[in-house]
Structure 1
């Protein structure tokens, strides 16, 4: 089996799927990457703990109390300003993963169990078809991001400014380690959230309030009340400790999967922010593994093992052995 240390991670991003238009992302950098596309402006920070690639090995982002407590291994932070005529319903702005080619022949035994754990434990709003010719797993952005910050005062400032591009940049909330914002919003953003019934401000534990918004967004009719408006600024942060880019492993509650055993050497991991109705892509982030020259030996790709390691000692498991209940909005806690 190949070693994770034989590979480095290369990340690029753009405002459409065309890799030729993408630019490199400096992981763990302090300056957000600004991307301008027909659907709007996006500022982006990608943070990865124990990163092997072009960039610092970690970020002060992981030293904050929230991420220390969570033991998060990566984070994707965005500041999104929709373009004119690109207001999107909360039901239609999606966040998730998709692929250009089938991956069904490379999905490991137990993948169905892993997906049910994700829907039950992490994101009940996620949906898709990993076995399709063009596989995808998307969830509504309003329920998928751990933190969402709404800045409507920024839209008011932009409308009065003669230099809108400069004003947009001035409104991007950053620290010495990049994008950072609380759940909730500015005064106008918090008032708007209250008007539509969406939980708003950080309490003593901002993560709890973020989960309240996620749970609210999964209730019938809630997402339709949310609108991603032209000119407003939206801070979105997505993070967890379930995908370990250092060990190249998927680590879910009671379930561990070494990814290199099943990687075909071709498919890349892609995160996408898109409009479900129009297909408009606002952001595509590509995580690509590259073999380090001279490291390791070529692996016989036909030599796959069916074993899936569980966190309690590497016992084999399959979908029949791991019962995961059906999920609903009530399962977000």
Structure 2
């Protein structure tokens, strides 16, 4: 996994979502949020893991040119999509859930609700339907006209990232240390690949030894789940309650049972440790901080022209003069 450089991110961090607001579709598509949640409920029954995947779409979308559904675009003859970016390929999944939500919303209100807004609604619903907090999402985004695989490669952090790196990354988006720790709690649900932990188990920092921060019994469990010769796409639970959105993730970090290096480092780094300890002992405060962080991240906008896609995987064909602006 590459190391990433962030010097080009400042213009995005400065673009706010001031025009976004709750209830944006109350007149034009009043049932939009109910329709999306219904699709998410069905996805939960069909495959519980899909909700964790959909929730993380918000991170992978908003950090690359703002929350504009660029990550949902398939490759095109003149464009490489973000689905094959380093942080997304073999990692992100369940795109079909957003397709189903878009199709259902289009039947009710053709050409009204953006894929970018559906993605934000679905991420919120993934949290609420698995036991986490519920909140009002601000809506009114437009869909991007293209994707940027190169930028996605440059921005999205590696599982090897440490807390210092992550603090600097989030700061580029005007997200605080508290936001970083709270939003990392998205790993309260879902699974990660053995690929993401092999170096921690067998060659931390090039030592040929495991990461000493891994609790010994937990390391034994991981050695069995991810032996040296494992198919590295095998998945492992990110915390002890992978289908319930709660503060168990932070309790695991405190006990040395964080799966990813980028998770466990939050407890070993002095600036992030106090928030990990706070959230591990107070689920309500974690939920409040998580909602605050998700709303702030959802405000990220690039200011580029956009549209309402008919199909989330493909940009519309339309005259340039008809394009709207964010």
TM-score bracket, shorter-length normalisation: 0.3 to 0.5
Structure having the larger proportion of residues in helix: 2
Structure having the larger proportion of residues in strand: 1
TM-score, length-scaled by structure 2 = 0.33
TM-score, length-scaled by structure 1 = 0.32
